[in-house]
Structure 1
Amino acid sequence: MAALRRYQTVVSDSALWEGFPFRSGDVVLSPPAKCGTTWMQMLCALLIFDDTEFGRPLTEISPWFDATTYDTAATLAMLESQQHRRFIKTHTPLDGLPFHEDVTYICVGRDPRDVMLSFENATANIHPDAIPAGGLDPEVAQPPAPEPIDRFWLWADSDLVNDTTSFGVTLANLVNHVRTFWERRDEPQVALFHYADLKADLPGELRRLARVLSIEISDERITELAAAATFDHMRGRADELAPGVDHKLWRSNENFFRSGTSGQWRGLLDSAALDRYHRRVAELAPPDLAEWLHRP
């Protein structure tokens, strides 16, 4: 078995997965940041519990296992105590995760330009008290340039970032993450979803997820459960569903679900900027993956 690639950021370390005691049927949810992780956690919870009420915060049911901002031993004990089918959050690419034939690995892709803008909104919403001990470099905790277009190019032109001084959110990191799933998407335990498809046909994608998880469910029940996972409905339950509510991570839990829309980048990038952006994408992704990521 090939050695796992180690991924580190200011808030996570994939080395924590080594020796993890998997169970048959476990689900590992591994989208890049701001690509719909919480949305996919919600969809898994709806299917696994066949209920819209969970009785405790989603972040406790589906913890971010390799987050260094949590007590790993406590997270592991909580997972070991769970009697239901486990679905575990991470932002580690597939080549950094132990791979087991009886575990399902799910990734969600999104138009990278929307990811960049969503991440900016998220960082502006982080509560000052939630900054990790020792603080962050000011260029990590705050926008690194005064103009939005300058910040966009810093994000787009940065190479792979794999260290403990940043959040690791760059175009190169996003493409690398999705590519590790893209290259294994035909394997039965690997599933790749797209944010745009979730927006366009949430019941259909929930039905597809049920098939991935081998869960039998009626079309009528799919419709009922999907209604609980619309963006507006989740925003209304932000205190239960937003990540990090147990750590008081956000200034506003509702603002974590700020808009969920796509295409806001159109107000930022003119035709020349788009040409430059697509040249950069071509350096990072094969044409089929680039086309898939940017699907309307």
Structure 2
Amino acid sequence: MVIINNNSEDAEFDEILERDFTSVFRHGYITVEGVTMPKRFEDLKNNIRNWNVREDDVWICSFPKTGTTWTQEMVWMIMNNLDVVGGQANLGHRSPFLEVSALFDYREFKKENKDFQPPPFIDDSLEFVKHQSLKGPLCLKTHLPWALLPKEIQDNTKSPKIIYVTRNPKDTCISYFNHSRLMEGYRGNFEDYCRLFLAGKLPFAPFWNHVLPFWERRNHPNILFLKYEEMVKDLPAIIRKVADFLEKPLSDDQVEVLSSHLSFESMKKNPAVNYEMVVSLNRKYNLIHCEGSFMRSGKVGDYKAKMSPEVICKFDEWTKEHTEGLDLFD
């Protein structure tokens, strides 16, 4: 087991991770710059740190399960003039996930299962992104916090457009729990998962260390900060804001077409964005033992049906501790 810290509570969290959140494609955890990451990230971090950043790429940055896929599809469509035909290709090809190979390390499994063929955008994501970059500007996804982004971004040597999307942490936790069970093999209970979330012991956590550095930079000209709740409340307004930020303004008719395309029901039924391909692959090879779908409800306030009052109180106190005086979440 990979021990992240030495005090007794951290050791308990490490035991939960080892017992409930390791698998044939997840072999342990490390901390890098205070961030919890799958052990495989150790092999990728220097290449990412030294990444040759292109200023005409657009980076979609987020903590997991905060509206990333929704934002990716919106941005790709705007960047590509609402190319519905081109948008039938899998989103993982069109808007690659930079560090996904750290989440799904299939190397050993492939040696024993010669017919197993994971999608190329997962199998070796860094090489895939390099290959896609040859074709022109990318809509690039990452869940890396500011501290783990390429040094050219951190030191302002390069200033690509960055769109950061976030969501209230209670709904994020619910969605991340379901995602972790369905996509990443988490086998534990929801109560332990909430404890891991609050303690910053899940991949890409701590949550506030992820959100706040982008919030502090929200007025930089190359950064657009979005909230999931605002997207739900008035999607056409957010589409216009994103289009203006990308310097690709849309007509009213185009906004209406894209709003329909991005509706939750449309996204849930769209095989190019709903990740059913990856879910089916994991089930075929018995890597995941969980029912469900990648896109579940998309509702604001969904946590109320799942979290106990005691856990809600802990989340509210934790949120107040980190955001007092900030106009971030209600």
Q: 2:129 aligns with which of 48, 70, 76?
A: 76
Aligned position for 2:328: 292
Q: 1:228 aligns with which of 255, 261, 268?
A: 261
Describe the superposition over 1:198-231 as per-residue Cα deviations: whole angstroms up to 9, x where unpaired: 1111111010001111112212211111210111
Q: How many residues align?
A: 263
- Which 5+ residue runs of structure 2 have no aligned equivalent? 1-31, 105-122, 284-289
Q: 2:180 aligns with which of 123, 132, 140?
A: 123
Aligned position for 1:25: 56
Alignment CA distance shift 1:169-1:249 (3 Å) = farther
Preserved CA contact (<8 Å) 2:173 2:194: no
Alignment CA distance shift 1:37-1:73 (3 Å) = closer
TM-score (ref. length: structure 2): 0.71
Q: What residue identity is the alignment partner of 2:89? A: R
Does the alignment pair 1:112 with 2:163?
no
Q: 2:146 aligns with which of 94, 98, 104?
A: 94
Displacement after TM superposition at 1:195 (Å): 0.5
Aligned position for 2:47: 16
Q: 1:241 aligns with which of 269, 273, 278?
A: 273
Q: What residue identity is the alignment partner of 1:257? A: M
Does the alignment pair 1:38 with 2:38?
no
Matches within 5 A, 1:159-178: 160-161=200-201, 167-168=202-203, 173-178=206-211
Q: 1:256 aligns with which of 284, 289, 294?
A: 294
Alignment CA distance shift 1:6-1:269 (3 Å) = closer
For residues 53 and 186 of structure 1, the distance between their equivalents in structure 2, rounded to whole angstroms, comes to: 35
Preserved CA contact (<8 Å) 1:65 1:76: yes
For residues 302 and 163 of structure 2, the distance between their equivalents in structure 1, rounded to whole angstroms, comes to: 26
Displacement after TM superposition at 1:8 (Å): 5.5
Aligned position for 2:187: 142
- Aligned to 1:177, the other structure's residue is in SS state helix
For residues 253 and 228 of structure 1, the distance between their equivalents in structure 2, rounded to whole angstroms, comes to: 26
Identity rate, percent: 21
Moved more, 239-248 or 177-186: 239-248
Moved more, 247-256 or 91-100: 247-256
Preserved CA contact (<8 Å) 1:235 1:254: no
Higher relative contact order (CA 8 A, sep 6+): 1
Moved more, 199-208 or 21-30: 21-30
- Aligned to 2:293, the other structure's residue is in SS state helix
Preserved CA contact (<8 Å) 1:125 1:255: yes
Displacement after TM superposition at 1:29 (Å): 0.8
For residues 186 and 181 of structure 2, the distance between their equivalents in structure 1, rounded to whole angstroms, comes to: 8
Aligned position for 2:97: 64
Preserved CA contact (<8 Å) 2:72 2:139: yes
Does the alignment pair 1:151 with 2:186?
no
Does the alignment pair 1:179 with 2:212?
yes
Aligned position for 1:136: none
Preserved CA contact (<8 Å) 2:163 2:223: yes
Describe the superposition over 1:147-202 as per-residue Cα deviations: whole angstroms up to 9, x where unpaired: x4x336413541x34xxxxx4265xx121111110111111111110001111111
For residues 265 and 123 of structure 1, the distance between their equivalents in structure 2, rounded to whole angstroms, comes to: 16
Displacement after TM superposition at 1:287 (Å): 1.5
